[in-house]
């Protein structure tokens, strides 16, 4: 082989494709029995590949500006065309999110794997990386232990969430021992725990729609879901970075009502009505009304409706998070994503210390960094 890629997720397969396009003989080693398991899981509810918006706005959603040249080379426009080139037409939803018309990840992955095979890329499954052995890379394989010494290697092992799908961060101590700086992993795009009272149980699983959520200086208009464990869903994920870092969560349950209109409606309600009846007459859904009764009884009703505090007990465990923040620190990498402490070894995808929201940013970031690492690895391999 001319190049080894460890990890057959979106970033690793993109690195392999770039290496093969440069004429390199590529082997992809995947620890699981099948490739791209987290990618397939993410696509079960609709594969959101990118977001149709100007590149500058798109890149600003990431917390790491050093990804900008990678996104400029493989951003929203390029991702959409790449899907079309694989025979998967895409469409843009009302929110700007871009999906394959098939909506699932499996047709895209099948077409991609077929193209990689036609390019000569060899996929070895159940090849689990076990760390370093001298100057080699040690694997547990179906044929017993194997040690490889490829000219160049691209690591694409994922972050620290969804360990059962392969992203278990087992690689962290192996790289740290070789002098690579690792920023500790934290959950990203995750739900938060709430200490509910027993009366909330009937509302678990129900969405709260049309609300405006605020955390610090950031606000988002989207639905979220009440669960036995707390709150989750798109609105919560969008605010997860601020909430994780300590911002308080408040919810405006009537964002379409001007303050004077709300006051007038409250004035017309009977003073003898129960709180439950007043909330029903205001048009709140049962789940939204339950939230007010849970956390707003001691507040003026206008405050409970427009700035309801929802006390959080911290994020859900990292393994439940959609993605992670943290990973290989920027100063441990060259501009080409080569590890300074390990010449000839490159890294990409969620292994790197960057964070982005859901909505197409995660996949595009993984693909863009994989393409970037593959291109520079190809140049390094001669």
Q: Where are the domains of the chain?
A: 3-187+322-380, 192-309
The pLDDT of residue 347 is 98
This model's pTM is above 0.75 = yes
In the prediction, which pLDDT does 105 show? Answer: 95
Separation in Å, CA 365 to CA 61, 123, 331, 356, 358: 11, 23, 19, 8, 11
Low-confidence ranges of the chain (pLDDT < 50): none
**Per-residue model confidence (pLDDT) at position 139:** 98
Q: What is the pLDDT of residue 273?
A: 86
Q: Could you tell me the sign of the dihedral formed by the alpha carbons of 106, 108, 70, 57, in that order?
A: negative
For domain 3-187+322-380, say whether CATH 3.90.100.10 is its number. no
Q: Are strands 90-92 and 224-227 parallel, antiparallel or unpaired?
A: unpaired
Q: What is the pLDDT of residue 89?
A: 97
| pLDDT at residue 46 in the model | 87
CA distance 238 to 357: 6
């Amino acid at each position: 082989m001319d190049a080894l890629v460890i990890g057959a997720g979106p970033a690793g397969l993109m690195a392999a494709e770039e290496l093969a396009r440069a004429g390199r003989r590529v082997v992809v080693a995947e620890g699981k029995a099948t490739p791209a398991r987290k990618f397939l899981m993410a696509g079960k509810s609709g594969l959101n590949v990118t977001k149709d918006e100007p590149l500058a706005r798109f890149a600003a959603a990431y917390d790491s500006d050093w990804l900008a040249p990678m996104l400029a080379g493989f951003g929203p426009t390029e991702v959409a065309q790449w899907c079309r080139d694989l025979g998967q037409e895409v469409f843009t939803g009302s929110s700007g999110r871009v999906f394959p018309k098939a909506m699932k990840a499996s047709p895209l992955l099948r077409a991609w794997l077929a193209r990689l095979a036609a390019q000569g890329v060899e996929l070895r499954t159940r090849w689990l990386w076990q760390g370093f052995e001298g100057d080699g890379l040690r694997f547990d394989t179906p044929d017993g232990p194997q040690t490889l010494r490829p000219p160049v290697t691209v690591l694409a092992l994922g972050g620290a969430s969804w360990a059962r799908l392969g992203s278990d961060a087992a690689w962290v101590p192996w790289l740290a021992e070789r002098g690579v700086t690792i920023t500790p992993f934290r959950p990203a795009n995750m739900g938060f725990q709430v200490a509910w009272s027993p009366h909330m149980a009937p509302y678990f699983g129900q969405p709260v729609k049309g609300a405006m959520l605020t955390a610090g200086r950031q606000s988002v208009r989207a639905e979220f879901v009440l669960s036995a464990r707390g709150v989750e869903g798109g609105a919560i994920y969008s605010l997860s970075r601020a909430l994780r870092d300590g911002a308080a969560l408040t919810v405006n349950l009537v964002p379409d009502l001007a303050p004077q209109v709300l006051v007038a409606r409250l004035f017309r309600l009977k003073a003898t009505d129960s709180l439950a009846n007043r909330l029903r007459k205001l048009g709140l859904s049962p789940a939204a009304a339950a939230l007010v009764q849970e956390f707003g009884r001691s507040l003026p009703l206008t405050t409970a409706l427009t700035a309801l505090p929802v006390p959080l007990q911290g994020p859900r465990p990292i393994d439940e998070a959609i993605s992670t923040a943290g990973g290989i620190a920027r100063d441990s990498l060259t501009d080409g994503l080569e590890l300074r402490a390990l010449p000839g070894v490159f890294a990409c995808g969620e292994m790197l210390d960057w964070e982005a929201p859901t909505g197409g940013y995660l996949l595009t970031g993984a693909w863009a960094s994989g393409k970037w690492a593959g291109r520079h690895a190809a140049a390094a391999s001669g």
